[in-house]
């Protein structure tokens, strides 16, 4: 049997992920094609939401992250009106670079396949 304290942060983070994705689509349409919300991490006290975002183009990552940080108070107020939570969490946007790691691993695996010796014994 799971304790509510361990399940609630997961539920709230899923709720925030869905709502913040909608907010970003409607409020920042100029970056909607380049930006994906990949995860929301919440501590057990539910007072902060660490929102991981992935940006498609590498040169646009920093400007988009700065824009999100600047607009974080606005998004926090939007979430407060849309979600019925006891605490309105502080929003912290972070860059998710896991796609870069995946791309690098794929390149290394391709390189290994190309440079693999022909005779295996």
**The two three-digit tokens of residue 70, written as one number:** 């600047």
CATH of domain 4-114: 3.30.300.20
Question: What confidence tens digit (pLDDT) does each residue in 28-74 have?
Answer: 888 877 888 999 999 998 899 999 998 888 888 899 899 999 999 99
CA–CA dist 50, 37 (Å, integer): 11
DSSP H helical ranges for 2-121: 4-27, 61-82, 98-114
For the entire predicted model, the pTM comes to 0.76
Residue pLDDT, tens place only, 62-85: 998 999 999 999 999 999 999 888
- Over the Cα atoms of the chain, what is R_g? 19
- pLDDT for res 119: 63
Cβ(61)–Cβ(95) below 8 Å: yes
Q: For the chain, give every domain's residue range.
A: 4-114
């Amino acid at each position: 049997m799971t304790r509510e304290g361990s399940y609630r942060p997961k539920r709230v983070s899923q709720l925030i992920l869905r709502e913040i994705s909608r907010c970003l689509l409607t409020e920042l349409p100029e970056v909607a094609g380049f930006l994906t919300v990949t995860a929301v991490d919440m501590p057990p006290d539910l007072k902060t939401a660490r929102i991981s975002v992935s940006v498609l183009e590498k040169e646009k990552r920093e400007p988009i992250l700065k824009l999100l940080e600047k607009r974080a108070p606005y998004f926090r107020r939007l979430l407060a009106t849309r979600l019925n939570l006891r605490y309105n969490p502080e929003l912290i946007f972070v860059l998710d670079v896991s796609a870069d790691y995946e791309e690098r691993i794929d390149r290394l695996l391709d390189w290994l396949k190309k440079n693999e010796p022909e005779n295996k014994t």
